[in-house]
Amino acid sequence: MSLINLIRIALKALQRNKLRAFLTMLGIIIGVGSVIAMVAIGQGSKQSIHDALSNMGTNMITVQPASNLNGGVRIAGTSFQTLTIKDIVALKANEQYITEVSPAVTSRGQAINGALNWPTSMSGVAPEYLDIRKLTLKDGIAFTENDVRTSAKVCLIGQTVIDNLFPDGENPIGKVIRFGNIPFQIIGILSPKGFNAFGQDQDDILIAPYTTVQKRILATIYYSNIYASAENEAVTDAAVKEMTDVLRASHHLRPSEEDDFRVRTQQELIATLSSTSGLLTVLLTVVAGISLVIGGIGIMNIMYVSVTERTKEIGLRMSIGARGKDILMQFLMEAVLISITGGVIGVLLGFISTQIVTLTLKWPTIISESSVLLSFVVCAVTGIFFGYYPAQKASRLDPIEALRYE
């Protein structure tokens, strides 16, 4: 029997029970649509994380204080301050693979302009920080090394802080605001960056010389972070080793002692977060894939019912010359058609679902060609796998017994 005749006979058989055929497809439709939507959301979140971290500079290196053994007691990194100006001097004196270095300290408080106030954070950094983090100015000027040396009370302001302290659209350049009780003159406006992949508002910030924040606000000699930039991505690992060796020497650590700092790169962070996102995507895809298995079981169940209902038809076909192979292929084709048709509708449902997610929840989604192709392959395999046993049962019926069946 030719393939065209098999498809034609299978379509006629399915048209006789349209509602039953559609309900059988429903499991496949939901399964395929869910798989495509879950993979699209997972791929979109992974790409979003990668882009967000890349915008900060893929060759950026961050040093943080870390826990260390001290008299047998392990101290938390947040309370164990180890980074000082000596580390900055040492790093700058031994620059080989790093091009720029900036200490950083952060304080949270209220930014005040007259009767208006806004809770925000102030980062104390060096002028090089803007280049390391790829920050640009929308208006005004950046502070200089002279401002750092003199602990000048000047700052750069983010768009979110502007919107809340200057709601009437007034130009903030040259205006004086207070952070806590300290007055700061605004000399520059940071270009808006929006929310990052973690939902943090990157424009809700004030940036000032690190010496100003250290002396006038925090009254500390320690840094919360040190930011550095490698020459390029290719030498990032060499730069990390260089910084580690310099900082260990600066902290007078013996070979047997652990580091009292932690060096992280953007590439490590991208890899870690992408791995976590990928694992979540796999988990969601497996959960959605269960619908495909349920749909396959539904196909097997309906095909069994169909074989039982059409026992006389099978016997009649066999009596006029149809071979067991022809009967097998006929019922197998019906199962595959149900599965493939459900797959096509499921793919359309997946496309629509991802668009709805993107438009309503503002989540990034990426539909990959591989997920669509894989869905069709899985549908075909599902139809063959779950349809084979009922089809084989139909092909092995005794024609005489089949004709007698009531």
Tell whether 68 is covered by a domain: no
What is the predicted pLDDT for the residue at 155? 97
Say yes or no: 47 and 87 in one domain. Answer: no
- Structural domain contains residue 386: yes
SS3 282: helix
3-state secondary structure 162-223: HHHHCCCCCCCCCCEEEECCEEEEEEEEECCCCECCCCCECCCEEEEEHHHHHHHHHCCCCE
Q: What is the pLDDT of residue 182?
A: 95
Same domain for 238 and 296, yes or no, is no
| 202-240: pLDDT as tens digits | 899 999 999 999 999 999 999 999 999 998 878 988 999
Q: Say yes or no: 143 and 26 in one domain.
A: no
Domain, as residue range, for 10 = 3-52+272-404
Cβ count near 71 (within 10 Å)? 5
**One domain, residues 240 and 288:** no
Average pLDDT for the chain: 87
Residue 220: name the closest of 77, 83, 110 by CA.
83
Assigned domain for 9 exists: yes
Q: How far apart are CA 285 and CA 330, in angstroms?
A: 32
Same domain, 312 and 377: yes
Do 294 and 340 lie in a common domain?
Answer: yes
14 and 122 share a domain?
no
Instruction: Indicate whether 172 and 312 sit together in one domain.
Output: no
**pLDDT exceeds cutoff 80 at 84:** yes
Tell me how far CA of residue 190 lies from CA of 71, 160, 199, in angstroms: 45, 10, 19
For residue 197, the model assigns a pLDDT of 61
Question: Amino acid identity of 123?
Answer: S
Q: What is the pLDDT of residues 296-312, one digit of tens each?
A: 888 899 888 888 888 88
Predicted local distance difference test score (pLDDT) of residue 319: 87
> 87-109, pLDDT tens digit by residue?
999 999 988 899 999 999 999 99
User: Are 13 and 130 part of one and the same domain?
Assistant: no
Contact between 129 and 190 under an 8 Å Cβ cutoff? The reply is no
User: Among the three residues 215, 250, 285, which one is the final residue of a domain in this structure?
Assistant: 250
What is the per-residue pLDDT across 110-122, written as a single tens digit (0 to 9) for each? 999 999 999 999 9
Give the mean pLDDT of 279-295.
79
Whole-number Å distance between alpha carbons of 91 and 73: 29
Considering the domain architecture, whether residues 216 and 301 belong to the same structural domain is answered as no
Q: Are residues 276 and 360 in the same domain?
A: yes
User: Is the residue at 92 inside a domain?
Assistant: yes
Please check whether residue 336 lies inside any domain of the structure: yes
Q: For residue 65, tell me if it sits in a domain.
A: no
What is the DSSP secondary structure assignment for residue 235, as one 8-state letter?
Answer: G
Which residue among 217, 250, 283 closes a domain? 250
Pair 304, 347 in one domain = yes
Within a domain: residue 258?
Answer: no
Number of independent structural domains in the chain: 2
103 inside domain = yes
